[in-house]
Amino acid sequence: MGMAAFDSGGWRKICQRTAVQCDNSAMTPMHYTFLYGQQIDDALGAIESQFAFEAIEVAREFGYDTPTERHELRTWVTQRAREAATAVGCR
């Protein structure tokens, strides 16, 4: 039984179209990161697992971060916001 080939050109078009849509909708670069990431995560569900690495590499060309990377970003931003608030006397 032969393995189907990954259509990297078709996937790249999906990523590019999604990136444009998210860029037009996002209010900030961070919002874009999360919006685009979630859209791509959803689309990756339809990609066969043996092609996931290649699909993620293509998605990264348009700013894709994995769920773990987005979680780390959110944690970092939250921590910096708390530190800034504490520095100015907020709790």
Report yes or no: 56 and 44 within 8 Å, Cβ to Cβ. yes
C-alpha closest to that of 41 among 10, 69, 13:
69
Report yes or no: 56 and 47 within 8 Å, Cβ to Cβ. no
User: Tens digit of pLDDT for each residue in 14-35?
Assistant: 999 999 999 999 999 999 999 9
What pLDDT does 2 receive? 44
The pTM score is: 0.82
Would you say residue 1 has pLDDT above 80?
A: no
User: Tens digit of pLDDT for each residue in 60-82?
Assistant: 999 999 999 999 998 998 888 88
Buried/exposed code over 1-33 (b: 16+ C-beta within 10 A; e: otherwise): eeeeebeeeebeebbeebbeebeeeeeeeeebb
